[in-house]
Structure 1
Amino acid sequence: MRADLVGYVPGTIRSAVRRAANRFNVDIVRNPFPRRLAKLCALLGIRTLVDVGANSGQYATMVRAAGYEGHIVSCEPLSAPFARLRANAARDPAWHTERLALGAKVGEVSVHIAGNSYSSSVLPMLDAHLDAAPESRYVADERAPMSTVDRLLTGYTHLPDQLMLKIDVQGYEWEVLLGAEQTLSRLAAVQVELSMTPLYDGQRLMGDIVDLLTSAGLEPWALEPGFCDSRTGRMLQCDGIFVRPAAVAAR
């Protein structure tokens, strides 16, 4: 092989593989999100991760595989995904599970169950969501207990500080944050789903959530692409990560 071609073929192969994956609506990237998230947890010394809207434990499984070793508290209100969540966490003594919806108050709430499970929400779904993902249409309702982040964490007095809060609750993010009023000052980081256009009736959009978190002393750190309308390419939701500058400085 000519010397000037050494190192060229591997790059060409990588490009060919990526193009082939793209044809199947899949991308191959360096430094993928789970690895970056685990690196952030290590940078901030995150020792407790509160996973709100856990479904069957996909997020916790992802961060564990990426190298996060601290405590996880996963909350899921719906009985079927919670059963899978509890089974997935059964062999991990630092992974705690709660069948709970999290919001601004303690009580009980009705959750709309989506056909794809992970689009389930306390809020009514709007046509913009259904048009982009018809399989997410609601198929049933289920009552579930509701608590707040503040109250939840009082039951885990053994958990260490250096907290990160992850919120994926399909339009109900504002209420979860209102229920974390006391916890916000303890948070080193927040990962929250941000909607750029209304997908659920009554939800707060990206600008409101960003304003609330920045007013609590957290700064934007990263954005991760999320739910897109495959017909138009428009991004409807993304995940925002917000970090407390003092937590970085302390490390």
Structure 2
Amino acid sequence: MRWSAASAGPNFVYRGQPLGCPFAFWLVVQKTGLDDGRKALVLNKIQQYFHGRRHLHRTPEGRLVIALRAQRIDCVVDVGANIGQTGLALFKHGFDGKVLSFEPTSQAYKELRETARAWPNWSVAPQMALGTAERQVEINLAVTSNWSSIKKVRDKTVGMKPKSRIVGQETIDLKRLDQEVPKSVDPNDRLFVKIDTQGYEADVLEGCDGLLPSIFGFKLELSLLALYEGEKLYDYYLRWMADRGFELWMVEDVSFSSELGRQLQFDAVFFRPGGLS
């Protein structure tokens, strides 16, 4: 008998995350004797079969996975990983490369490590932020951790987004990306760097110089309106990328202000044109 997605039963939820895998197949995988990480990997492959690559273009994460495959990216470097949203979304949408995550804040870092533990291709670097030089800095902790930043949030931003309000600070280590990433990746890996550091993206990019020949793409969260003090806006990054031979590849919406009636941020994906030649 051939199982179908319609007849196999409800989707399985693993560690609180729906994997889109029919229950009957989950039951078979549980009897294989594999460890939890390997089971999650097998279930992810089954999900890919049922979900179908033809549907990937319908979500931002799916479109990114299509682009990563087309560019033959071996490893996604996830800077500002928070609790692991990016890595989890990539694997759930069928990315079969590696993910290396960096996160500076203690509570988010603990959750990130727990999330990544289930995926064999997902590694988490020691707790740190990435920037221009090796030193210690203070990071501002927000009500919601994904708003935490080394930059100070503007009062206007808090008015629009109350969860960005600062509730504390934490001393963290700051290091350079081009010094830390080579410790965890293969020298021949084609790298893609995702940076979501709440206004601190320019400093992270300055720390990439020594690794640029191995980086074939970037994803940045860019602002149309400065949400943090001293934050550079989208046009700075468009010039930075163009000057280094990267082309704007995709744009996805991030946040909109009903109060202002305008878009605040968007995700921009860049690749080197002809990067596969």
Length-normalised TM-score, structure 1: 0.84
Unaligned runs of 5+ in 1: 1-28
1:41 matched residue in structure 2: 68
Deviations 1:42-96 (A, max 9, x none): 0000101000000000110001101111111100000000000001111222211
Could you tell me how far 1:246 is from its partner in structure 2? 2.2
Partner SS, residue 226 of structure 1: strand
Partner SS, residue 175 of structure 1: helix
Of the three residues 199, 215, 222, the one matched with 2:243 is: 215
Partner SS, residue 183 of structure 1: helix
2:78 matched residue in structure 1: 51
Letter in 2 for 1:188: F
Whole-Å separation in 1 of the counterparts to 2:90 and 2:261: 28
Q: Is the 8 A contact 2:193 2:215 kept in 1?
A: yes
**Closer, same or farther: CA 69–195 of 1 in aligned 2, 3 Å:** same
Q: Is the 8 A contact 1:196 1:206 kept in 2?
A: yes
Higher strand share: 2
Deviations 1:211-236 (A, max 9, x none): 11111100001111112213233111
Q: Is the 8 A contact 2:57 2:63 kept in 1?
A: no
1:112 matched residue in structure 2: 140
Kindly indicate whether residue 260 of structure 2 is the aligned counterpart of residue 232 of structure 1.
Answer: yes
Kindly indicate whether residue 121 of structure 2 is the aligned counterpart of residue 94 of structure 1.
Answer: yes
Kindly indicate whether residue 157 of structure 2 is the aligned counterpart of residue 133 of structure 1.
Answer: no
Letter in 1 for 2:159: D
**Closer, same or farther: CA 231–212 of 1 in aligned 2, 3 Å:** same
Q: Is the 8 A contact 1:48 1:160 kept in 2?
A: no
Partner SS, residue 90 of structure 2: helix
Q: How do 1:198-209 residues align onto structure 2 when only pairs under 5 Å count?
A: 198-209=226-237
Aligned-pair identity (%): 32
Q: Is the 8 A contact 2:153 2:164 kept in 1?
A: no
Of the three residues 41, 61, 71, the one matched with 2:88 is: 61
Letter in 1 for 2:260: T
Letter in 1 for 2:200: Y
Length-normalised TM-score, structure 2: 0.77
Whole-Å separation in 2 of the counterparts to 1:48 and 1:169: 19
Letter in 2 for 1:139: V
Q: Is the 8 A contact 1:228 1:237 kept in 2?
A: yes
Alignment size in residue pairs:
221
Unaligned runs of 5+ in 2: 1-55
1:162 matched residue in structure 2: 190
**Closer, same or farther: CA 68–177 of 1 in aligned 2, 3 Å:** same
Could you tell me how far 1:182 is from its partner in structure 2? 1.6
Could you tell me how far 1:156 is from its partner in structure 2? 2.0
Partner SS, residue 170 of structure 1: coil
1:103 matched residue in structure 2: 131
Give RMSD over aligned pairs. 1.5
1:11 matched residue in structure 2: none
Deviations 1:86-112 (A, max 9, x none): 011112222111211011111211110
